[in-house]
Structure 1
Amino acid sequence: MLARLFAMILLREALQIETQEEPRLINVKNAELGNTVSLDCAVSPHDREKLYWYKQSLGYVPQTVVAEIYGKRRFNPPFHSRFKVGGDFNLTIRNVTKEDEGNYFCQQGVLLGWNKGTFLSVKDPDDQRFVSQTVVQQPVSASAQLGDPVALQCSITSQRTDHSNQCQGEPSVYWFRSGPSHPAAIYMNGNRSGECQNSSGPPSAPQSCVYTLPKNNVDSSDAGTYYCALAACGEVVFGNGTKLDIPDNFLVILVHRILLACFLVVILILILIIHYSTRKLIP
Protein backbone atom coordinates (compact mmCIF):
# COMPACT_ATOMS: atom_id res chain seq x y z
CA MET A 1 0.00 0.00 0.00
CA LEU A 2 2.81 2.40 0.91
CA ALA A 3 4.58 1.60 -2.35
CA ARG A 4 1.42 2.35 -4.31
CA LEU A 5 0.96 5.65 -2.46
CA PHE A 6 4.58 6.57 -3.12
CA ALA A 7 4.22 5.80 -6.85
CA MET A 8 1.03 7.83 -7.12
CA ILE A 9 2.69 10.85 -5.51
CA LEU A 10 5.65 10.66 -7.89
CA LEU A 11 3.38 10.29 -10.94
CA ARG A 12 1.24 13.25 -9.91
CA GLU A 13 4.26 15.49 -9.35
CA ALA A 14 5.84 14.47 -12.65
CA LEU A 15 2.65 15.20 -14.56
CA GLN A 16 2.45 18.66 -12.99
CA ILE A 17 5.90 19.41 -14.38
CA GLU A 18 5.18 18.12 -17.88
CA THR A 19 1.74 19.66 -18.39
CA GLN A 20 2.54 23.32 -17.81
CA GLU A 21 0.50 25.63 -20.04
CA GLU A 22 2.00 27.60 -22.86
CA PRO A 23 1.99 31.38 -22.33
CA ARG A 24 -1.10 33.05 -23.73
CA LEU A 25 -0.69 36.01 -26.07
CA ILE A 26 -2.49 39.31 -25.72
CA ASN A 27 -5.15 40.00 -28.31
CA VAL A 28 -5.54 43.67 -29.30
CA LYS A 29 -8.84 44.86 -30.78
CA ASN A 30 -9.10 48.36 -32.29
CA ALA A 31 -12.34 50.32 -32.36
CA GLU A 32 -13.38 53.88 -33.19
CA LEU A 33 -15.54 56.10 -31.03
CA GLY A 34 -19.20 55.12 -31.30
CA ASN A 35 -18.54 51.64 -32.68
CA THR A 36 -20.01 48.39 -31.38
CA VAL A 37 -17.46 45.72 -30.47
CA SER A 38 -17.73 42.10 -29.34
CA LEU A 39 -15.16 40.31 -27.18
CA ASP A 40 -15.01 36.51 -27.12
CA CYS A 41 -14.95 34.56 -23.88
CA ALA A 42 -14.69 30.98 -25.25
CA VAL A 43 -16.08 29.29 -22.13
CA SER A 44 -16.53 25.56 -21.88
CA PRO A 45 -20.16 24.44 -22.27
CA HIS A 46 -19.71 21.83 -19.53
CA ASP A 47 -19.24 24.21 -16.59
CA ARG A 48 -21.26 27.41 -16.68
CA GLU A 49 -22.18 27.74 -13.01
CA LYS A 50 -19.95 30.76 -12.43
CA LEU A 51 -18.92 33.17 -15.21
CA TYR A 52 -17.27 36.57 -14.93
CA TRP A 53 -16.02 39.43 -17.13
CA TYR A 54 -13.37 41.81 -15.78
CA LYS A 55 -11.95 45.09 -17.05
CA GLN A 56 -8.55 46.54 -16.15
CA SER A 57 -7.95 50.13 -17.20
CA LEU A 58 -4.41 51.40 -17.61
CA GLY A 59 -2.95 52.08 -14.17
CA TYR A 60 -5.92 50.65 -12.23
CA VAL A 61 -6.81 47.36 -10.56
CA PRO A 62 -9.32 45.05 -12.30
CA GLN A 63 -13.02 45.66 -11.75
CA THR A 64 -15.92 43.27 -12.34
CA VAL A 65 -18.05 44.05 -15.38
CA VAL A 66 -20.62 41.28 -15.03
CA ALA A 67 -21.05 38.10 -13.01
CA GLU A 68 -23.34 35.19 -13.84
CA ILE A 69 -23.73 32.74 -10.96
CA TYR A 70 -26.05 29.76 -11.33
CA GLY A 71 -27.92 31.50 -14.14
CA LYS A 72 -28.39 34.82 -12.33
CA ARG A 73 -26.65 37.65 -14.16
CA ARG A 74 -25.65 40.94 -12.58
CA PHE A 75 -23.82 43.91 -14.13
CA ASN A 76 -21.93 46.39 -12.02
CA PRO A 77 -23.60 49.83 -12.28
CA PRO A 78 -20.90 51.51 -14.44
CA PHE A 79 -21.40 48.82 -17.10
CA HIS A 80 -25.15 48.37 -16.96
CA SER A 81 -26.37 50.44 -19.92
CA ARG A 82 -24.08 49.75 -22.91
CA PHE A 83 -22.66 46.32 -21.99
CA LYS A 84 -24.41 43.05 -22.88
CA VAL A 85 -23.46 39.35 -22.86
CA GLY A 86 -24.77 36.68 -25.19
CA GLY A 87 -25.40 32.97 -24.95
CA ASP A 88 -21.70 32.11 -25.24
CA PHE A 89 -20.96 34.79 -22.63
CA ASN A 90 -19.31 36.99 -25.25
CA LEU A 91 -19.22 40.64 -24.20
CA THR A 92 -20.74 43.30 -26.48
CA ILE A 93 -20.12 47.02 -25.95
CA ARG A 94 -22.32 49.54 -27.78
CA ASN A 95 -21.40 53.14 -28.57
CA VAL A 96 -17.78 52.71 -27.48
CA THR A 97 -16.21 55.64 -25.59
CA LYS A 98 -12.62 56.43 -24.67
CA GLU A 99 -13.36 55.34 -21.08
CA ASP A 100 -14.05 51.81 -22.36
CA GLU A 101 -10.40 51.38 -23.32
CA GLY A 102 -8.60 48.75 -21.29
CA ASN A 103 -7.84 45.08 -20.88
CA TYR A 104 -10.82 42.70 -20.73
CA PHE A 105 -10.71 39.07 -19.65
CA CYS A 106 -13.30 36.51 -18.63
CA GLN A 107 -13.18 33.79 -16.00
CA GLN A 108 -15.03 30.50 -15.83
CA GLY A 109 -15.50 29.06 -12.36
CA VAL A 110 -13.24 29.82 -9.42
CA LEU A 111 -10.34 27.43 -9.94
CA LEU A 112 -10.25 27.15 -13.73
CA GLY A 113 -8.21 30.30 -14.24
CA TRP A 114 -8.53 33.13 -16.73
CA ASN A 115 -9.24 32.99 -20.43
CA LYS A 116 -7.14 34.93 -22.90
CA GLY A 117 -7.31 38.68 -22.36
CA THR A 118 -8.21 41.24 -25.02
CA PHE A 119 -7.02 44.83 -24.94
CA LEU A 120 -9.62 47.19 -26.40
CA SER A 121 -7.95 50.22 -28.01
CA VAL A 122 -10.36 53.07 -28.79
CA LYS A 123 -9.33 55.55 -31.48
CA ASP A 124 -10.69 59.01 -32.26
CA PRO A 125 -10.56 59.41 -36.08
CA ASP A 126 -10.45 63.22 -35.69
CA ASP A 127 -7.53 63.15 -33.28
CA GLN A 128 -4.19 63.55 -35.10
CA ARG A 129 -1.98 64.77 -32.29
CA PHE A 130 0.95 62.47 -33.01
CA VAL A 131 2.68 62.13 -36.37
CA SER A 132 4.13 58.80 -35.30
CA GLN A 133 4.61 56.57 -32.31
CA THR A 134 6.84 53.52 -32.51
CA VAL A 135 7.47 50.91 -29.81
CA VAL A 136 10.25 48.40 -30.48
CA GLN A 137 11.22 45.57 -28.12
CA GLN A 138 14.50 43.73 -28.38
CA PRO A 139 15.16 40.87 -28.21
CA VAL A 140 12.09 39.03 -29.42
CA SER A 141 12.82 36.22 -26.97
CA ALA A 142 15.03 35.82 -23.92
CA SER A 143 15.93 33.00 -21.56
CA ALA A 144 16.93 33.05 -17.89
CA GLN A 145 17.68 30.50 -15.21
CA LEU A 146 15.77 30.29 -11.95
CA GLY A 147 16.97 33.01 -9.57
CA ASP A 148 18.66 35.13 -12.25
CA PRO A 149 17.98 38.87 -12.66
CA VAL A 150 16.38 39.97 -15.94
CA ALA A 151 15.95 43.45 -17.45
CA LEU A 152 13.45 43.77 -20.31
CA GLN A 153 13.80 46.83 -22.53
CA CYS A 154 11.78 48.68 -25.12
CA SER A 155 12.65 51.68 -27.28
CA ILE A 156 9.95 54.29 -27.85
CA THR A 157 10.21 56.90 -30.60
CA SER A 158 7.60 59.65 -30.88
CA GLN A 159 7.25 62.78 -32.99
CA ARG A 160 4.79 65.45 -31.99
CA THR A 161 2.93 68.01 -34.06
CA ASP A 162 1.94 71.48 -32.96
CA HIS A 163 -1.44 70.06 -31.91
CA SER A 164 0.30 67.83 -29.37
CA ASN A 165 0.52 70.83 -27.03
CA GLN A 166 -3.15 70.19 -26.30
CA CYS A 167 -2.24 66.90 -24.62
CA GLN A 168 -2.63 66.75 -20.86
CA GLY A 169 0.09 65.07 -18.79
CA GLU A 170 3.21 63.16 -19.73
CA PRO A 171 3.30 59.96 -21.79
CA SER A 172 3.03 56.80 -19.70
CA VAL A 173 4.70 53.46 -20.31
CA TYR A 174 3.06 50.21 -19.22
CA TRP A 175 4.13 46.57 -19.34
CA PHE A 176 1.63 43.83 -20.08
CA ARG A 177 2.45 40.29 -19.07
CA SER A 178 0.73 37.34 -20.71
CA GLY A 179 1.54 33.97 -19.20
CA PRO A 180 0.12 30.75 -17.74
CA SER A 181 0.12 31.92 -14.11
CA HIS A 182 -1.90 35.11 -14.43
CA PRO A 183 -4.10 36.93 -16.89
CA ALA A 184 -2.63 39.73 -18.96
CA ALA A 185 -1.61 41.71 -15.92
CA ILE A 186 -0.43 45.30 -16.19
CA TYR A 187 2.85 46.54 -14.81
CA MET A 188 3.49 50.26 -14.65
CA ASN A 189 6.96 51.77 -15.02
CA GLY A 190 6.94 53.74 -11.75
CA ASN A 191 9.24 56.63 -12.61
CA ARG A 192 8.00 56.82 -16.23
CA SER A 193 11.46 57.90 -17.31
CA GLY A 194 14.13 56.41 -19.49
CA GLU A 195 17.31 57.22 -21.29
CA CYS A 196 16.12 59.74 -23.87
CA GLN A 197 17.78 61.32 -26.89
CA ASN A 198 16.98 64.71 -28.41
CA SER A 199 14.80 65.55 -25.39
CA SER A 200 16.13 69.14 -25.46
CA GLY A 201 15.36 69.71 -29.16
CA PRO A 202 12.35 71.49 -30.69
CA PRO A 203 8.89 70.01 -29.98
CA SER A 204 8.61 68.68 -33.54
CA ALA A 205 11.91 66.76 -33.33
CA PRO A 206 11.68 62.99 -32.90
CA GLN A 207 12.41 61.80 -29.37
CA SER A 208 13.63 58.32 -28.54
CA CYS A 209 13.58 56.84 -25.02
CA VAL A 210 14.58 53.45 -23.65
CA TYR A 211 12.45 52.00 -20.86
CA THR A 212 13.46 49.06 -18.68
CA LEU A 213 11.45 46.59 -16.63
CA PRO A 214 13.82 44.98 -14.08
CA LYS A 215 12.94 41.64 -12.51
CA ASN A 216 15.08 40.08 -9.79
CA ASN A 217 15.24 36.43 -8.74
CA VAL A 218 12.92 35.18 -11.47
CA ASP A 219 11.03 31.94 -11.00
CA SER A 220 8.88 29.78 -13.26
CA SER A 221 5.80 31.96 -12.67
CA ASP A 222 7.57 34.89 -14.36
CA ALA A 223 7.63 33.08 -17.71
CA GLY A 224 5.45 34.59 -20.40
CA THR A 225 5.34 37.27 -23.08
CA TYR A 226 5.88 40.87 -21.98
CA TYR A 227 4.49 43.74 -24.03
CA CYS A 228 5.61 47.35 -23.69
CA ALA A 229 2.88 49.92 -24.40
CA LEU A 230 2.97 53.71 -24.76
CA ALA A 231 -0.11 55.68 -23.70
CA ALA A 232 -0.04 59.33 -24.76
CA CYS A 233 -2.47 61.90 -26.14
CA GLY A 234 -5.36 59.44 -26.17
CA GLU A 235 -3.48 56.73 -28.06
CA VAL A 236 -2.01 53.40 -27.00
CA VAL A 237 0.70 51.72 -29.09
CA PHE A 238 2.00 48.22 -28.29
CA GLY A 239 5.42 46.74 -28.87
CA ASN A 240 6.00 43.43 -30.61
CA GLY A 241 6.55 41.59 -27.31
CA THR A 242 9.46 39.78 -25.68
CA LYS A 243 8.94 36.14 -24.73
CA LEU A 244 10.75 35.25 -21.51
CA ASP A 245 11.53 31.55 -21.11
CA ILE A 246 12.54 30.24 -17.69
CA PRO A 247 13.24 26.53 -18.16
CA ASP A 248 12.69 24.39 -15.11
CA ASN A 249 15.47 22.06 -14.06
CA PHE A 250 13.39 18.91 -14.25
CA LEU A 251 15.97 16.79 -12.43
CA VAL A 252 16.28 19.19 -9.49
CA ILE A 253 12.52 19.56 -9.17
CA LEU A 254 11.96 15.81 -9.43
CA VAL A 255 14.60 15.10 -6.76
CA HIS A 256 13.07 17.74 -4.51
CA ARG A 257 9.62 16.21 -4.88
CA ILE A 258 10.95 12.69 -4.37
CA LEU A 259 12.52 13.83 -1.10
CA LEU A 260 9.23 15.46 -0.13
CA ALA A 261 7.34 12.25 -0.93
CA CYS A 262 9.87 10.23 1.11
CA PHE A 263 9.43 12.62 4.01
CA LEU A 264 5.65 12.17 3.86
CA VAL A 265 6.04 8.38 3.76
CA VAL A 266 8.33 8.46 6.82
CA ILE A 267 5.81 10.61 8.68
CA LEU A 268 3.05 8.15 7.77
CA ILE A 269 5.14 5.20 9.00
CA LEU A 270 5.87 6.97 12.29
CA ILE A 271 2.18 7.71 12.76
CA LEU A 272 1.35 4.01 12.17
CA ILE A 273 4.08 2.88 14.60
CA ILE A 274 2.84 5.26 17.29
CA HIS A 275 -0.74 4.14 16.67
CA TYR A 276 0.01 0.41 17.04
CA SER A 277 2.34 0.98 20.02
CA THR A 278 -0.39 2.92 21.79
CA ARG A 279 -2.92 0.14 21.15
CA LYS A 280 -0.57 -2.46 22.71
CA LEU A 281 -0.08 -0.37 25.82
CA ILE A 282 -3.82 -0.03 26.39
CA PRO A 283 -5.17 -3.17 28.17
Structure 2
Amino acid sequence: MTLETDVEDGVVSVIADGTLLARYDAEPAGSKPGFDTLALPSGVDTKPGENLVVSSPHDHPWHFGLFFCQKLVDGVNCWESEPNAAAGNPHGYAEAGEYEVRDASDGGIEVEQEATWRTDSGEELLDDARRIRIGEPDDEGYLLTWEQDVTALEQRRHLSSETLHGHYSGLSLRFARSLREGRVLLPDGRDPGETSPPRAASGPAARWCDYSGPLDGRPGAGAVGDPWSAGVAMFDHPDNGAGPVNWFVMDEPFGFLAANPTWGTVETLDEGESRSWTWGLWVHSGTPDEERVERAYESFVDSV
Protein backbone atom coordinates (compact mmCIF):
# COMPACT_ATOMS: atom_id res chain seq x y z
CA MET A 1 0.00 0.00 0.00
CA THR A 2 1.77 3.13 -1.23
CA LEU A 3 2.20 6.05 1.18
CA GLU A 4 2.05 9.67 0.10
CA THR A 5 2.53 12.90 2.05
CA ASP A 6 0.99 16.34 1.93
CA VAL A 7 2.57 19.19 3.91
CA GLU A 8 0.63 22.40 4.43
CA ASP A 9 0.92 25.09 7.12
CA GLY A 10 3.16 22.91 9.27
CA VAL A 11 0.80 19.91 9.17
CA VAL A 12 2.15 16.64 7.73
CA SER A 13 -0.55 14.33 6.36
CA VAL A 14 0.30 10.72 5.52
CA ILE A 15 -2.11 9.16 3.02
CA ALA A 16 -2.50 5.53 1.94
CA ASP A 17 -4.65 4.70 -1.10
CA GLY A 18 -6.61 7.91 -0.66
CA THR A 19 -7.22 7.36 3.08
CA LEU A 20 -5.76 9.74 5.65
CA LEU A 21 -3.61 7.48 7.82
CA ALA A 22 -1.81 9.88 10.14
CA ARG A 23 -1.49 13.63 10.61
CA TYR A 24 1.35 15.29 12.53
CA ASP A 25 1.11 18.93 13.59
CA ALA A 26 4.70 20.17 13.54
CA GLU A 27 3.77 23.83 14.12
CA PRO A 28 0.97 23.57 16.67
CA ALA A 29 -1.16 26.34 18.10
CA GLY A 30 -1.04 24.39 21.37
CA SER A 31 1.90 23.69 23.65
CA LYS A 32 3.27 20.51 22.03
CA PRO A 33 3.69 19.01 18.54
CA GLY A 34 2.01 15.66 17.99
CA PHE A 35 -0.43 13.53 15.98
CA ASP A 36 -4.09 14.53 15.89
CA THR A 37 -4.86 11.55 13.63
CA LEU A 38 -3.89 7.87 13.80
CA ALA A 39 -6.42 6.13 11.57
CA LEU A 40 -7.13 2.61 10.39
CA PRO A 41 -5.90 1.93 6.83
CA SER A 42 -8.13 1.20 3.87
CA GLY A 43 -7.44 -2.56 3.87
CA VAL A 44 -8.94 -3.40 7.27
CA ASP A 45 -12.27 -5.19 7.65
CA THR A 46 -13.72 -2.84 10.29
CA LYS A 47 -13.81 0.94 9.68
CA PRO A 48 -11.15 2.15 7.22
CA GLY A 49 -10.17 5.74 7.95
CA GLU A 50 -11.46 5.66 11.55
CA ASN A 51 -9.36 7.95 13.75
CA LEU A 52 -8.35 6.19 16.99
CA VAL A 53 -7.13 9.30 18.86
CA VAL A 54 -8.58 12.63 19.91
CA SER A 55 -6.54 15.83 20.16
CA SER A 56 -7.38 18.77 22.45
CA PRO A 57 -10.57 17.22 23.89
CA HIS A 58 -12.70 19.70 25.82
CA ASP A 59 -12.08 17.88 29.12
CA HIS A 60 -8.28 17.90 28.74
CA PRO A 61 -7.26 20.32 25.94
CA TRP A 62 -3.60 19.65 26.75
CA HIS A 63 -3.92 16.06 25.44
CA PHE A 64 -2.66 16.16 21.84
CA GLY A 65 -3.59 12.76 20.38
CA LEU A 66 -0.18 11.04 20.27
CA PHE A 67 2.58 13.22 21.72
CA PHE A 68 5.69 13.27 23.89
CA CYS A 69 5.98 15.29 27.08
CA GLN A 70 8.20 15.06 30.14
CA LYS A 71 5.73 16.18 32.78
CA LEU A 72 8.08 17.73 35.34
CA VAL A 73 11.50 19.27 34.68
CA ASP A 74 13.03 20.65 37.89
CA GLY A 75 9.47 20.78 39.18
CA VAL A 76 8.24 22.89 36.25
CA ASN A 77 4.95 21.49 34.97
CA CYS A 78 5.27 20.97 31.21
CA TRP A 79 2.09 18.87 30.99
CA GLU A 80 -0.87 21.06 31.95
CA SER A 81 0.52 24.01 29.99
CA GLU A 82 -2.85 25.33 28.80
CA PRO A 83 -4.68 25.52 32.16
CA ASN A 84 -1.60 26.91 33.91
CA ALA A 85 -1.19 29.54 31.21
CA ALA A 86 -4.87 30.46 31.51
CA ALA A 87 -4.47 30.83 35.29
CA GLY A 88 -1.24 32.79 34.99
CA ASN A 89 0.78 30.04 36.71
CA PRO A 90 4.37 29.06 35.85
CA HIS A 91 4.60 26.25 33.31
CA GLY A 92 6.69 24.75 30.54
CA TYR A 93 5.99 24.11 26.88
CA ALA A 94 7.66 22.83 23.71
CA GLU A 95 8.79 25.48 21.26
CA ALA A 96 8.57 23.64 17.94
CA GLY A 97 11.61 23.89 15.68
CA GLU A 98 12.60 22.83 12.19
CA TYR A 99 11.22 19.62 10.75
CA GLU A 100 11.91 17.41 7.75
CA VAL A 101 9.70 14.90 5.95
CA ARG A 102 11.21 12.23 3.72
CA ASP A 103 10.47 8.90 2.08
CA ALA A 104 12.09 5.87 3.72
CA SER A 105 13.89 3.31 1.57
CA ASP A 106 11.38 0.59 2.50
CA GLY A 107 8.31 2.58 1.50
CA GLY A 108 7.59 4.22 4.85
CA ILE A 109 7.50 7.92 5.72
CA GLU A 110 9.88 9.61 8.18
CA VAL A 111 9.38 12.85 10.10
CA GLU A 112 12.25 14.40 12.01
CA GLN A 113 11.86 17.45 14.23
CA GLU A 114 13.70 19.53 16.82
CA ALA A 115 12.01 21.35 19.69
CA THR A 116 13.09 23.27 22.80
CA TRP A 117 11.30 22.86 26.11
CA ARG A 118 11.12 26.24 27.86
CA THR A 119 9.52 27.84 30.87
CA ASP A 120 6.92 30.54 30.31
CA SER A 121 9.60 33.03 31.39
CA GLY A 122 11.92 31.86 28.58
CA GLU A 123 14.41 29.62 30.40
CA GLU A 124 15.59 26.71 28.25
CA LEU A 125 15.04 23.34 29.96
CA LEU A 126 15.55 20.56 27.41
CA ASP A 127 16.50 20.08 23.80
CA ASP A 128 14.08 17.66 22.12
CA ALA A 129 14.89 15.63 19.00
CA ARG A 130 12.41 13.11 17.63
CA ARG A 131 12.53 10.79 14.63
CA ILE A 132 9.21 9.23 13.70
CA ARG A 133 8.64 6.58 11.06
CA ILE A 134 5.30 5.37 9.72
CA GLY A 135 5.47 2.01 7.97
CA GLU A 136 3.42 0.77 5.06
CA PRO A 137 0.08 -0.64 6.26
CA ASP A 138 -1.28 -4.13 5.64
CA ASP A 139 -4.79 -5.52 6.11
CA GLU A 140 -4.44 -5.38 9.92
CA GLY A 141 -2.75 -2.03 10.52
CA TYR A 142 0.72 -0.47 10.57
CA LEU A 143 3.75 0.22 12.74
CA LEU A 144 4.82 3.67 13.91
CA THR A 145 8.29 4.01 15.45
CA TRP A 146 9.16 6.98 17.67
CA GLU A 147 12.80 7.67 18.61
CA GLN A 148 13.07 10.37 21.26
CA ASP A 149 16.14 12.22 22.59
CA VAL A 150 16.18 14.84 25.34
CA THR A 151 19.26 16.86 26.36
CA ALA A 152 19.65 19.03 29.48
CA LEU A 153 20.15 22.73 28.72
CA GLU A 154 21.81 25.48 30.78
CA GLN A 155 22.31 23.37 33.92
CA ARG A 156 21.66 19.98 35.54
CA ARG A 157 18.04 18.94 35.07
CA HIS A 158 15.81 16.57 37.00
CA LEU A 159 13.04 14.72 35.15
CA SER A 160 10.09 13.30 37.09
CA SER A 161 6.36 12.77 36.84
CA GLU A 162 4.71 11.90 40.14
CA THR A 163 1.80 14.19 41.01
CA LEU A 164 -1.60 13.98 42.65
CA HIS A 165 -3.34 13.14 39.38
CA GLY A 166 -1.29 10.13 38.33
CA HIS A 167 1.79 9.56 36.25
CA TYR A 168 0.98 11.32 32.99
CA SER A 169 4.34 11.61 31.20
CA GLY A 170 6.43 10.20 28.37
CA LEU A 171 5.08 9.03 25.02
CA SER A 172 1.34 9.45 25.50
CA LEU A 173 -1.82 8.59 23.59
CA ARG A 174 -5.37 9.80 24.23
CA PHE A 175 -7.85 7.43 22.63
CA ALA A 176 -11.00 8.42 20.74
CA ARG A 177 -14.11 8.62 22.89
CA SER A 178 -15.71 5.42 21.59
CA LEU A 179 -12.70 3.44 22.84
CA ARG A 180 -13.35 4.05 26.54
CA GLU A 181 -13.82 0.96 28.73
CA GLY A 182 -11.39 -0.90 26.50
CA ARG A 183 -9.45 -4.08 27.12
CA VAL A 184 -5.92 -3.74 28.50
CA LEU A 185 -3.58 -6.62 27.62
CA LEU A 186 -0.05 -7.23 28.91
CA PRO A 187 2.39 -10.06 28.10
CA ASP A 188 2.60 -13.24 30.16
CA GLY A 189 -0.88 -12.80 31.57
CA ARG A 190 0.13 -9.78 33.66
CA ASP A 191 -2.56 -7.92 35.59
CA PRO A 192 -2.68 -4.24 34.54
CA GLY A 193 -3.88 -3.15 37.96
CA GLU A 194 -6.36 -0.33 38.52
CA THR A 195 -7.26 1.42 35.24
CA SER A 196 -10.01 3.75 36.44
CA PRO A 197 -10.02 6.39 39.20
CA PRO A 198 -8.42 6.21 41.70
CA ARG A 199 -5.45 5.46 39.46
CA ALA A 200 -2.51 5.18 41.87
CA ALA A 201 -2.00 1.45 41.19
CA SER A 202 -1.95 1.72 37.39
CA GLY A 203 1.69 1.36 36.38
CA PRO A 204 2.61 -2.18 35.36
CA ALA A 205 6.12 -2.69 33.96
CA ALA A 206 6.14 -4.73 30.75
CA ARG A 207 7.73 -4.86 27.30
CA TRP A 208 4.40 -3.95 25.68
CA CYS A 209 0.85 -2.92 26.46
CA ASP A 210 -2.15 -3.22 24.15
CA TYR A 211 -5.31 -1.18 24.49
CA SER A 212 -8.27 -2.25 22.32
CA GLY A 213 -11.83 -1.01 22.48
CA PRO A 214 -15.18 -0.74 20.70
CA LEU A 215 -15.89 1.42 17.66
CA ASP A 216 -19.15 3.14 16.87
CA GLY A 217 -20.94 2.72 13.57
CA ARG A 218 -21.45 -0.99 12.96
CA PRO A 219 -24.90 -1.35 11.35
CA GLY A 220 -27.41 -4.17 11.68
CA ALA A 221 -28.31 -6.75 14.29
CA GLY A 222 -24.77 -8.13 14.22
CA ALA A 223 -23.61 -5.05 16.12
CA VAL A 224 -25.63 -6.00 19.21
CA GLY A 225 -23.08 -7.16 21.75
CA ASP A 226 -20.41 -7.38 19.05
CA PRO A 227 -19.28 -3.92 17.88
CA TRP A 228 -16.30 -3.37 15.65
CA SER A 229 -13.08 -2.95 17.60
CA ALA A 230 -9.60 -1.53 17.14
CA GLY A 231 -6.69 -0.32 19.21
CA VAL A 232 -3.02 0.43 19.62
CA ALA A 233 -0.25 -1.70 21.10
CA MET A 234 2.66 0.32 22.42
CA PHE A 235 6.13 -1.28 22.53
CA ASP A 236 9.12 -0.55 24.75
CA HIS A 237 12.46 -1.26 23.03
CA PRO A 238 14.78 -3.48 25.12
CA ASP A 239 17.63 -0.96 24.75
CA ASN A 240 15.65 1.76 26.56
CA GLY A 241 16.78 0.83 30.05
CA ALA A 242 17.67 -1.82 32.59
CA GLY A 243 14.07 -3.02 32.80
CA PRO A 244 10.78 -2.58 30.97
CA VAL A 245 8.96 0.73 31.15
CA ASN A 246 5.96 1.44 33.38
CA TRP A 247 2.67 1.97 31.58
CA PHE A 248 0.21 4.58 32.76
CA VAL A 249 -3.05 3.18 31.41
CA MET A 250 -6.68 4.21 31.89
CA ASP A 251 -9.94 2.91 30.45
CA GLU A 252 -12.26 5.29 32.34
CA PRO A 253 -13.42 8.03 32.06
CA PHE A 254 -11.45 7.86 28.80
CA GLY A 255 -8.83 5.63 27.23
CA PHE A 256 -5.23 6.69 27.79
CA LEU A 257 -1.86 4.96 27.44
CA ALA A 258 1.61 6.30 28.17
CA ALA A 259 5.10 4.80 28.28
CA ASN A 260 6.51 6.64 31.30
CA PRO A 261 10.28 6.14 31.82
CA THR A 262 10.34 8.34 34.95
CA TRP A 263 7.61 6.46 36.82
CA GLY A 264 8.47 6.50 40.52
CA THR A 265 11.96 7.87 39.92
CA VAL A 266 13.91 11.04 39.16
CA GLU A 267 16.15 11.02 36.09
CA THR A 268 19.09 13.40 36.54
CA LEU A 269 20.86 14.82 33.49
CA ASP A 270 23.95 16.99 33.73
CA GLU A 271 24.12 19.98 31.40
CA GLY A 272 24.62 18.65 27.87
CA GLU A 273 23.80 15.06 28.87
CA SER A 274 21.18 13.22 26.81
CA ARG A 275 18.70 10.42 27.33
CA SER A 276 17.24 8.42 24.45
CA TRP A 277 14.25 6.11 24.09
CA THR A 278 12.73 4.14 21.23
CA TRP A 279 9.07 3.15 21.26
CA GLY A 280 6.79 1.51 18.74
CA LEU A 281 3.06 1.64 18.17
CA TRP A 282 1.09 -0.97 16.26
CA VAL A 283 -2.15 0.64 15.12
CA HIS A 284 -4.51 -2.25 14.43
CA SER A 285 -8.08 -3.30 13.75
CA GLY A 286 -9.77 -5.89 15.93
CA THR A 287 -8.83 -7.11 19.40
CA PRO A 288 -5.66 -9.19 19.04
CA ASP A 289 -4.64 -11.93 21.46
CA GLU A 290 -1.34 -12.04 23.33
CA GLU A 291 0.39 -14.19 20.71
CA ARG A 292 -0.48 -11.77 17.90
CA VAL A 293 0.72 -8.72 19.85
CA GLU A 294 3.95 -10.52 20.74
CA ARG A 295 4.62 -11.17 17.04
CA ALA A 296 4.07 -7.50 16.28
CA TYR A 297 6.43 -6.58 19.12
CA GLU A 298 9.14 -8.87 17.76
CA SER A 299 8.72 -7.32 14.30
CA PHE A 300 9.18 -3.88 15.86
CA VAL A 301 12.39 -4.90 17.65
CA ASP A 302 13.76 -6.46 14.45
CA SER A 303 12.96 -3.31 12.45
CA VAL A 304 14.91 -0.86 14.61
Which bin holds the TM-score, normalised by the shorter protein? under 0.3
Q: Which protein is bigger by CA-based radius of gyration?
A: 1
Q: More relative contact order in 1 or in 2 (CA 8 Å, sep 6+)?
A: 1
Q: Which has the higher strand share?
A: 2
Q: What TM-score does the superposition give when structure 1 sets the normalisation length?
A: 0.24
Q: What TM-score does the superposition give when structure 2 sets the normalisation length?
A: 0.23
Q: Which has the higher helix share?
A: 1
